[in-house]
Amino acid sequence: MSLIAESLAKQFGNFPALKGVSFAAPTGAFVALLGPSGSGKTTLLRILGGLEFADTGRVSFENEDWLAKPARERRAGFVFQQYALFRHMTVEKNIAFGLNVRPRKQRPPRAEIARRVRDLLALVQLDDLGQRYPSQLSGGQRQRVALARALAIEPRMLLLDEPFGALDAKVRKDLRVWLKGLHEKLGLTTIFVTHDQDEALEMADTVAVLNEGRIEQIGAPKDLRSHPATPFVADFLGGTPATASVIALKPRTLG
Amino acid sequence: MRRPTDDSLFTRGLLIAITVGYIGLFLFLPLLTVFSSALAKGLQVALDALRDPDALSAVRLTLIVAAIAVPFNLAFGICAAWVVSKYDFRGKSLLISLIDLPFSVSPVVSGLIYVLMFGLQGWIGPWLRDHDIRIIFALPGIVLATIFVTFPFVARELIPLMTDQGRDEEEAAVSLGASGFQTFLRVTLPNIKWALLYGVLLCNARAMGEFGAVSVVSGHIRGLTNTMPLHVEVLYNDYQYVGAFAVASLLALLAIVTLVLKSLLEWRFADEIAATHRH
Amino acid sequence: MSSVAIPSRFARLRNPSALPGFGLTLGFTLFYLSAIVLLPLTALLLKPWTMGWDGFVAAITEPRVLASLKLSFGGAAIAALVNAVFGLIVAWALTRYRFPGKRLFDALVDLPFALPTAVAGIALSALYAPNGWLGGPLSLLGVKIAFTPAGVIVALIFIGLPFVVRTLQPVIADMSEEAEEAAATLGATRWQTLRRVVLPALTPALVTGTGLAFARAVGEYGSLIFIAGNLPMKSEIAPLLIIIKLQQYDYTGAAAIGLVMLAASFVIILALNLFQSLLAARR
């Protein structure tokens, strides 16, 4: 298990966003943090990304004290819900940003950066749009630029905050398939936040269901479906006929 | 560890210190000077200066000018905002630019144009003299110049707000049988009342405090055509510093009251005054 | 069923909206504008030409006139630039930081909008005079502010500050911190983030605010005549020269300077609008 989080807790003023969250995931896992709004899933993601600080708890990633590093040094590629692209930079400059700000010694030569940008544009299938500005792109295209930008720094983990939330249904479906394919290709530890249980159950190999700052259950999608550990989980995942019949069957099968 | 979007303690401290210093130096100190100079020889001397007949007539003139200019500009502002926000027509943006004009013109030029029209050598100057009508160096000229420099205030407050609010409610009122005037009174006015107040406040402050434009058209005739700002100048040039600052203090108090009311309106009714000011 | 007699587009011309009152309100608006603005402005536009083109050029290239224009424009430019730098800092601190008394300082920024220019003028003059609170200590250091062009610049800093700060504040407030967070996750230091992400995003508003401060400062009169010194060729501002010429009944000379200043105002506003539409097109 390369990513281990122990007893993470965070309060915003009087509001407890996380009340002691622990979980573990192996390298290369595709983890979904699933739950309703206010469940703490985004807070958890931001803590992993270094954008918030936990009040208590620890995180270790590949045997490093993850929380001791500032966001800059973690190389955790973060993809924001509203993309957060740099409006005044072209797509190419956006993607190259993480490489351009590296200290001189670690910065690749310009030709190398250009090559990497081209490769990433090809990877996200936006080959000819390098010179465009974010305002000239569609939502789905912006999302892919945000992803390419995060991938440019060769991140150790990928963190996505409701990546498809702002897109329409068709684009969402296409991007889901595409992201899943990308994960299989790159093998990066990926953690993404969503409130859509179909999305979580379809894409991830590990799903953590959060509610009011706690993890109610964590496991493989089919396990969550067939054996919901708490009424909340059963209810939350209860949208599909399969789970409904499971609930109906439950008393007998577990009897 | 600090959040990635927080500046370091040093940076924050430095920038706050610069901010406080800059504002303190350039804005607060001058304000303080006005009051302390007025009271330099004690409260009684300052009050006596205010009771001087010329000072009193300056106050009276200022109030009269504002009492005429502000309502005129209020009427104009409402009309202009109504026309711009409830109808579509060509030349709308030209109209809006024209309304913004006084803000980009020097106050002295604002007064100059009236002298060029109504002054002795002006276009209709001779005709006015023949008919014994005085505009320049008299109240009408002062009122005109004041109207010119202050008329955008109400309009500029109302236009973005009314444009944002759209026409739906007014169209509904008309479809229910209301006349234009009723629609305005019952439907539009309640929606814009705070912005209206805000605009009138700014208009009034500027009307009472206008100096450059009025200076050109007034002739500086003591006791007759001096508004308060002009009287301040007259006293100051006469080395009557306490008197000058005493009158100035009244104007500064007006400014402070204006700012307080302005802040109050912005704080309570931010949405209703479209407080994101577009210049 | 009878067909509509009037083609709809003609109907629109006569009545652009369902709401009544178009004729009345447009009529009043246009009348007011013409009487108050257009007609008097025309007087200004036409007057200088009564002395012909050569006369006009001679009038504005008089050494005294040129010196006054130089002071008005030059002083305005320097003050605008100073306000650009410090206004940015002030706007940032007032929007992003919390500190005691912030509300008061924020409200003070509007003071130059509300305070009559004559009051500001005598206050600044008293403050920076050789026996003033600031002028005294400064003169010990050999620095003279009052009655010199430096006094003009100081007064114009006072006048122009709110333009820069108030134009920047809503833009800073609207800036979502996510772009800065993104830059941090991509490895940028705080300074790099400020330089590469924040500053470019603020540049349009900064340019607009500085431009507005400049336009305002060029024509400023009331706050300057007490602190300037008003010596011809040295510390005399253009608006004052207009007034002096009027007092000498040199209406055409005054109008000539007035026209130059008016033209300058137009050019500045036009440039700013062009700048903004260029930006809008690019985005």
Q: Which residue of A has its CA nearest to C204?
A: A88
Determine, yes or no, domain membership for C22: no
Best of B12, B20, B26, B233 to mutate (most C CBs within 10 Å, chain C): B26
| Residues B42, C27: Cα–Cα separation, whole Å | 55
**Quick check: helix, strand or coil at residue B119?**
coil
Determine, yes or no, domain membership for C37: no
* First-to-final CA distance of chain C: 51
Overall average pLDDT of the C85-89 stretch: 96
Determine, yes or no, domain membership for C193: yes
* First-to-final CA distance of chain A: 34
Tell me what pLDDT residue C77 has. 95
Which residues make Cβ contacts (< 8 Å) with residue A58, sequence separation at least 6? A5, A6, A7, A8, A65, A67
Q: b/e per residue, A191-228, with b = 16+ CB within 10 A? A: bbbbbbbebbbebbbbbbbbbebbbbbbbebeebbeeb
Helices (H) and strands (E) in chain C, counts: 15, 0
Percent of chain B scored above 90 by pLDDT? 53
| Residues C238, C253: Cα–Cα separation, whole Å | 12
| Residues A149, A84: Cα–Cα separation, whole Å | 11
| Residues A164, C238: Cα–Cα separation, whole Å | 60
| Residues B126, B168: Cα–Cα separation, whole Å | 52
Query: Which residue is it, tokens 């501002």?
Result: C237
Tell me what pLDDT residue B221 has. 74
Contacts of residue A52 in chain B, CB cutoff 8 Å? 3
Extract the tokens encoding A245.
């019949």
Contacts of residue A72 in chain C, CB cutoff 8 Å? 184-185, 187-189
Q: Which of A103, A100, A94 is nearest to A121 (CA)?
A: A94
| Residues B10, B19: Cα–Cα separation, whole Å | 14
Q: How many CB pairs under 8 A join B and C?
A: 286
DSSP secondary structure string for all residues of C68-129: HHHHHHHHHHHHHHHHHHHHHHHHHHHHH---TTHHHHHHHTTHHHHS-HHHHHHHHHHHHS
CA A72 to chain centre: 18
Tell me what pLDDT residue B275 has. 44
Helical pair B107-118 and B139-150, crossing angle rounded to 10 deg: 140
Whether the per-residue pLDDT at C2 is higher than 60: the answer is no
Q: Which of B234, B232, B227 is nearest to B246 (CA)?
A: B232
Neighbours of chain C (3+ CB pairs under 8 A): A, B
Q: Which residue of A has its CA nearest to C176?
A: A84
Number of C-alpha atoms within 13 angstroms, CB side, residue B124?
Answer: 13
Determine, yes or no, domain membership for C17: no
**Using an 8 Å Cβ cutoff, are B209 and B200 in contact?**
no
Contacts of residue A51 in chain B, CB cutoff 8 Å? 3-4
ipTM for the whole complex: 0.87
Tell me what pLDDT residue B175 has. 77
Q: Which of B230, B242, B223 is nearest to B45 (CA)?
A: B242
Q: Which residue of A has its CA nearest to C193?
A: A101
Tell me what pLDDT residue B272 has. 67
Determine, yes or no, domain membership for C221: yes
> Beta A157-161 vs A189-194: how paired, if at all?
parallel
**Using an 8 Å Cβ cutoff, are A143 and A165 in contact?**
no
Domain that holds residue C66: 51-282
Return the number of other C-beta atoms located less than 10 Å from residue A98's C-beta: 24
Whether the per-residue pLDDT at B36 is higher than 50: the answer is yes
Count of the separate structural domains present in chain C: 1
**Using an 8 Å Cβ cutoff, are C93 and B16 in contact?**
yes
Tell me what pLDDT residue C180 has. 93
Tell me what pLDDT residue B1 has. 67
| Residues A90, A210: Cα–Cα separation, whole Å | 37
Determine, yes or no, domain membership for C41: no
Determine, yes or no, domain membership for C12: no
**Using an 8 Å Cβ cutoff, are A239 and A224 in contact?**
no
**Using an 8 Å Cβ cutoff, are A174 and A143 in contact?**
no
Length of chain B counted residue by residue: 279
Residues A150, A156, A161, A164, CA torsion sign: positive
Contacts of residue B16 in chain C, CB cutoff 8 Å? 93, 97, 99
Question: From first to last of its 255 residues, what are the pLDDT tens digits of chain A?
Answer: 789 999 999 998 889 999 999 999 999 999 999 999 889 999 999 999 988 889 999 999 999 999 998 888 888 999 988 888 888 889 999 999 989 888 888 889 999 999 999 999 999 999 999 999 998 999 999 999 999 999 999 999 999 999 888 788 888 888 888 899 989 998 999 999 999 888 999 999 999 999 999 999 999 999 988 888 899 898 888 755 444 444 444 444 433
Q: Which residue of A has its CA nearest to C195?
A: A101
Q: Which residue of C has its CA nearest to A90?
A: C283
Determine, yes or no, domain membership for C111: yes
Which of A84, A133, A135 lies at the smallest CB-CB distance from C182? A84
CB pair distance less than 8 Å for B212 and C117: yes
Contacts of residue C258 in chain B, CB cutoff 8 Å? 106, 108-109, 112-113
Tell me what pLDDT residue A102 has. 86
Tell me what pLDDT residue A251 has. 44
Helical pair B92-104 and B139-150, crossing angle rounded to 10 deg: 120
Contacts of residue C250 in chain B, CB cutoff 8 Å? none
- Whole-number Cα distances in Å, B190 to B86, B185, B198, B203: 16, 8, 14, 20
Extract the tokens encoding C50.
């009564």
**C154: CATH:** 1.10.3720.10
Number of C-alpha atoms within 13 angstroms, CB side, residue C151?
Answer: 33
pTM here? Answer: 0.82
pLDDT digits (tens, 9 = 90+) for C197-253: 999 999 999 999 999 899 899 999 999 999 998 888 888 999 999 999 988 888 899
Strand partners, C45: none
**Using an 8 Å Cβ cutoff, are C202 and C168 in contact?**
yes
**Using an 8 Å Cβ cutoff, are C118 and C222 in contact?**
yes
